[in-house]
Amino acid sequence: MTRTQESSAHWGTFQVDVSDDGRTVVDTRPYADDPDASPAIAGVAEGQHHPLRVVRPAVRRRWLERGPGPDDHRGDPDDEYVEVEWDEVLDLLAAELDRVRSAHGNRAIFGGSYGWGSAGRLHHAQGQLHRFLNAIGGYTSSKNDYSRGASLVLLPHLIGADGMEQLRTRPPSWPQIAAHTDLLLCFGGMRLSNTSVIPGGHDRQVVGGLSRDAARTTRIVTVSAQRDDIGADLDAEWLGIVPGTDTALLLALTHTLVVEALADETFLASHTHGADRVRAYLRGDTDGVAKTPEWAARITGVPAATIRDLARRAAAGRTLVNVTYSLQRAEHGEQAVFAALTFAAFLGQIGLPGGGLSHGYGSMGDHGLGVERVKLPTFPQGRNPVDDFIPCARISDLLLHPDEDLPYDGGTLRLPDIRLVYWAGGNPFHHHQDLRRLRRGLARLHTLVVNEFHWTPTARHADIVLPAATPLERDDLAAGPGDSRLRTMPRAVAPVGEAREEFWIYDRLAERLGADYSEGLDSHGWLERIYETWRRANTDAPPFAEFWRAGGTPLPQRPYRDGAFSAFRADPAAHPLDTPSGLIEVFSPTLAGFGLSDTAGHALWIEPPVEPDSPYDLQLLCNQPSHRLHSQLDMAGPSRSTKVAGREPVRLNPVDATARGLRDGDVAIVRSPQGSLLAGVVTTDALLPGVAQMHTGSWYDPSAPHVADCVNGNVNVLTKDVGTSSLTQASSGARVAVSISRYDGPVPPVRAYEPPHLEHRPGAGRAERRPSERRTPARGRGNDRARARPSPPTSHPGRAPSPNGQPAADSGHRTPPHR
């Protein structure tokens, strides 16, 4: 017998079957009325009870025995961990945090902690960590994201911060597209699998149905090296393009508009700044190269006649130009977005219903839903007294180049000297580029702390690993932007082993460091507080107890009346953009004035360096995985079902496969200047010749370095760790040049899904610390055991006691005491 409840993740809302004794998550499945639900949902139950769960606090033996300090053994697959008691590990960690902040200042603590931790609004991993670090004096932080980090820096210069916001929150909605758009031009395709992900998740996935409706009346053209970057049911035209050359195509499209008098000169004169400078560049006045379709054809592989025809078709009706995030996640990737904005401006349809520019269909599932966003309940993070930050994708630069300058957004950042990194809710050994380089960076640290559910590759580099309770082990609430319901995420089972809510962890640490984290409330008190604070502005919502009983409350579904830029279009003088000119800057004097070698005032084609005789003769696309969110639940069934030869598949065109003697199911070795990996071969004509593709998110497995840097197919051993540009400094992970050949040697086993060597040794944390490293924290309250008391059953108002008061199934240990 089981009981059923609901839970939520970034990949959607789902049902959870729990065994009658309240200890085991038996099954997780999507709602029957959610046909486009993410396949990842089916893996949640397996992830919950997987042998990879971190069940006790663990400390790397070398760190425990030698004390904090640089150590190039971090991440060694044979490294051993010692499991210790909570009070010991909290004492150790508090002392180390105190040592670092006293000896080196709070800026020596890096707490950026980028990543897609759980969807819950209260147990939001970064938010909680930031609140804690703020409470103890602050930390060096990170800005922007891996998703569209280049656009986040570029676009405010061109359309203003408010224009950027409009572009994100009010793009033409799918019903508007269906009603008004003749041609939807999709640079980077429009992957339905990507839209199952929304920060916070959604009640149901609706984009699939909406886009299928729109495709009945709107012609869709997909521009990508992969035919299946768009669903076959959308009946799109496929324009195959050499990866990384969209800027050239877009410049040639714009060139055609200009020479064929198809550009909207009235719009350019009234709503844009600098069109003349763009025209001069297109003609070749500045560099001697006219950006003609013939010029672009040589670069992009798209025939010149097709380019001309496409420009004419775009000018003939209502056209919407969409760029996926992926285009800008590459060296000089922001230029593609700049060029798309320029093309859309020359078409003159920005601000018209169903026309103009968009940046996100096929990248995020909430894009184009047509619903005004509402503010959601939020756990306050406090204020960070430390100003230092990095653009998040510069993590290895930060660790490897302390006290050096990094150019960024027209200025420079001085990189602080980091001694301690605390990561919660992210997996840099998933998300960062050039993992060998990241490893060298982490080796310089004194201490790496990671809170995790699972023994991820990042946890396996950490000196201190704290077992975090999962969303199924804690009470929370969730909603995504534009969502129809604020949903409860009730605890389904007791935490496994000694996993704890991170709220509990930070509260205990803060006490030891003389700081206040909880303001005297437990996590349930906070859940109610953030909800009731939110309810003050949402007076239709019921009181907390009623909300909890009902499992959620509807959110207003106010359709946005006008799309992005419609007010600006109607009257640019009355509704200027917050750019220096108040207009769309197709030429930005600010950007030109930065004097950067890789940025001009206008969209710029930057020729990739020619490398004759390079062995890296294939472009590998590294895109988002269809059956998981990044690296999450890679160990579970849905993700495993996609593997080939026991590791991540690499897809390539049969022509390229044959030339390399590769057949379906072979193990291939993929190499780049940065590193090598093993992958399982899949041939498909959905890819252009010369292009290969692997999903991101296979767990980094360095256990057979004599064979490959990763035997499990994590693409980030291959990618290059270089900023998108000296302007934007974002991630360049979308693709990398590689060689692929057959691997005929003995195939090493994948060890990434086994936990590390663990030794359970209560008291080790106390006995083995070197005296020189022991410090008494400022006003620590010391031993947790002395304060521990049995956990009361949770008493949510209006709710039966949850299984939370039960001992965890496999430890006989009490669940976190709620104070």
Map residues 555-594 to x or -, x wherever contact with ligand MGD holds by CB under 6 A.
Answer: ----------------------------------------
Binding partner selected for residue 647 from Mo ion, ligand MGD, none, CB under the kind-specific 5 to 8 Å limit: none
**CA-closest candidate to residue 722, choices 690, 674, 755:** 674
Report, in Å, the least distance between residue 165 CB and ligand MGD.
17
Q: How far apart are CA 25 and CA 492, in angstroms?
A: 7
By the 8 A CB rule, do 493 and 48 touch?
yes
- Structure tokens of 189? 């395709």
Map residues 259-288 to x or -, x wherever contact with ligand MGD holds by CB under 6 A.
Answer: ------------------------------
> Per rule CB under 6 A, is residue 326 in the interface with ligand MGD?
yes
Q: Which of 8, 28, 106, 118 binds ligand MGD (CB under 6 A)?
A: 118
Q: How far apart are CA 746 and CA 644, in angstroms?
A: 16
Q: How far apart are CA 123 and CA 113, in angstroms?
A: 15
Binding partner selected for residue 327 from ligand MGD, Mo ion, none, CB under the kind-specific 5 to 8 Å limit: ligand MGD
Binding partner selected for residue 194 from Mo ion, ligand MGD, none, CB under the kind-specific 5 to 8 Å limit: ligand MGD
Please, which residue, 356 or 625, has the CB nearer to ligand MGD? Answer: 625
Report, in Å, the least distance between residue 427 CB and Mo ion.
12
Q: How far apart are CA 255 and CA 261, in angstroms?
A: 10
Please, which residue, 302 or 323, has the CB nearer to Mo ion? Answer: 323
Binding partner selected for residue 488 from ligand MGD, Mo ion, none, CB under the kind-specific 5 to 8 Å limit: none
> Per rule CB under 6 A, is residue 462 in the interface with ligand MGD?
no
Q: How far apart are CA 474 and CA 232, in angstroms?
A: 40
Instruction: Give the dihedral sign, CA 793/796/797/799.
Output: negative
SS3 455: coil
Please, which residue, 279 or 524, has the CB nearer to ligand MGD? Answer: 524
Q: Which of 67, 112, 138, 189 binds ligand MGD (CB under 6 A)?
A: 189
- Structure tokens of 801? 């006691």
DSSP 231-270: -GGG-PEEE---TT-HHHHHHHHHHHHHHTT-S-HHHHHH
> Per rule CB under 6 A, is residue 452 in the interface with ligand MGD?
yes
Q: Which of 454, 485, 602, 647 binds ligand MGD (CB under 6 A)?
A: 454
SS (H, E, C) 263-280: CCHHHHHHHEECHHHHHH
> Per rule CB under 6 A, is residue 434 in the interface with ligand MGD?
no
**How many binding residues for ligand MGD (CB under 6 A)?**
63
By the 8 A CB rule, do 488 and 473 touch?
no
**CA-closest candidate to residue 80, choices 63, 92, 93:** 63
Considering only residues 473-532, where is the footprint of ligand MGD by CB under 6 A?
502
Where helices occur in 485-543 by DSSP H, the ranges are 502-512, 523-535
Which listed range, 224-232, 257-265, 299-307, 437-445, lies at the site for ligand MGD (CB under 6 A)? 224-232
Please, which residue, 429 or 587, has the CB nearer to ligand MGD? Answer: 429
Q: Which of 140, 147, 693, 725 binds Mo ion (CB under 5 A)?
A: 147
By the 8 A CB rule, do 68 and 447 touch?
yes
**CA-closest candidate to residue 349, choices 283, 278, 262:** 262
> Per rule CB under 6 A, is residue 733 in the interface with ligand MGD?
yes
Binding partner selected for residue 116 from ligand MGD, Mo ion, none, CB under the kind-specific 5 to 8 Å limit: ligand MGD
**Tokens 């672009």, residue located:** 296
Please, which residue, 244 or 353, has the CB nearer to ligand MGD? Answer: 244
**CA-closest candidate to residue 497, choices 802, 56, 792:** 56
Binding partner selected for residue 123 from Mo ion, ligand MGD, none, CB under the kind-specific 5 to 8 Å limit: ligand MGD
> Per rule CB under 6 A, is residue 446 in the interface with ligand MGD?
no
By the 8 A CB rule, do 544 and 532 touch?
yes
Task: Name the residue number minimizing CB distance to ligand MGD.
Answer: 733
SS3 38: coil
SS3 127: helix
Q: Give the neighbor-by-neighbor strand order of the sheet with 219-223.
A: 237-239, 219-223, 183-187, 319-323, 356-358
SS3 63: helix
**CA-closest candidate to residue 88, choices 775, 760, 783:** 783
Q: How far apart are CA 7 and CA 695, in angstroms?
A: 26
Please, which residue, 125 or 577, has the CB nearer to ligand MGD? Answer: 125
Report, in Å, the least distance between residue 283 CB and Mo ion.
38
> Per rule CB under 6 A, is residue 188 in the interface with ligand MGD?
yes
Q: Which amino acid is at 647?
A: R
> Per rule CB under 6 A, is residue 117 in the interface with ligand MGD?
yes
> Per rule CB under 5 A, is residue 518 in the interface with Mo ion?
no
Binding partner selected for residue 802 from Mo ion, ligand MGD, none, CB under the kind-specific 5 to 8 Å limit: none
Binding partner selected for residue 394 from ligand MGD, Mo ion, none, CB under the kind-specific 5 to 8 Å limit: none
Q: Which of 48, 142, 176, 427 binds ligand MGD (CB under 6 A)?
A: 427
Q: Which residues are catalytic?
A: 114, 116
> Per rule CB under 6 A, is residue 425 in the interface with ligand MGD?
yes
Report, in Å, the least distance between residue 151 CB and Mo ion.
12
Strands 552-554 and 691-695: unpaired
> Per rule CB under 6 A, is residue 223 in the interface with ligand MGD?
yes
Strands 552-554 and 25-29: unpaired
Q: Which of 67, 115, 482, 702 binds ligand MGD (CB under 6 A)?
A: 115
**CA-closest candidate to residue 200, choices 354, 44, 12, 343:** 12
Q: Which of 329, 485, 500, 643 binds ligand MGD (CB under 6 A)?
A: 329
Report, in Å, the least distance between residue 146 CB and Mo ion.
5
| Contact set with ligand MGD (CB under 6 A) | 115-118, 123, 125, 146-147, 187-189, 191, 193-194, 196-197, 223-226, 229, 241, 243-244, 246, 324-327, 329, 362-364, 424-427, 430-431, 451-454, 456, 468, 502, 621-626, 629-632, 696, 715-716, 719, 733-735
